[in-house]
Amino acid sequence: MTYGDGHITESSGYVRVEFGSCSCGELEEVYRAFAVLCVDKHANRALLKAGDDAPEGHYALRDALHAMARHAVIPPDFKLALVPSTRPIETVYREAQRQLRAAGFNAWVFRRENEAVEWLEGRATRGVTAS
C-alpha cells in the first residue's frame, strides 16, 4: 500500500513501513493505515523506517498506537522496531520509545535496519534488545 511517499508492506512475518519524503499530513495518514493493518492482520511485529520527512509528523505514531489499543487487544508479544533516518527523527523516536515502553510496549530504536530485522526475527544475540 502506498500513501503519499510512504509504503506499507508485509514482509517475513512483520509489517514494514517505509517513509519517503512525507509531509506531516501524509505521515499521519500512513500511521493510521499502519494501525488499521496491524489490528486487521493481528500483527505482532512491525518495523518503522523513517525517510527524509518532517520529524514533528512522527508524533502521530503515538496516536496510531493509542487507536490500536482502543480497537483491539495488543498482543503481549508485539514488537516495534523504529529506525530513524536523521537526528531530529531519532529524538522523536527515542521519546516515543520511552513512552511506549512505559505503557508496556516492546519498542526499541535501532541505528541500522539490519539490527532491527534481527531483533524482530528473534535472531538478536547481544544487547538489551536480544530476545
Tens digits of residue pLDDT in 9-46: 987 789 999 988 888 888 888 888 988 888 888 889 99
Residue 129 banded pLDDT, cuts 50, 70, 90? low
56-104 pLDDT, tens digit each: 888 888 888 877 877 777 788 899 999 999 999 999 999 989 988 887 8
Return the pLDDT at 90. 93
Chain mean pLDDT for the chain: 85
Measured in whole angstroms, how far is the alpha carbon of residue 27 from the centre of its chain?
A: 12
pTM recorded for the entire structure: 0.87
Domains for the chain: give ranges and CATH numbers. Answer: 2-120 (3.30.750.24)
The Cα-based distances of 1 to 14, 21, 63, 129 in angstroms read 15, 16, 20, 29
pLDDT number for residue 3: 65
Residue 131: predicted pLDDT:
41
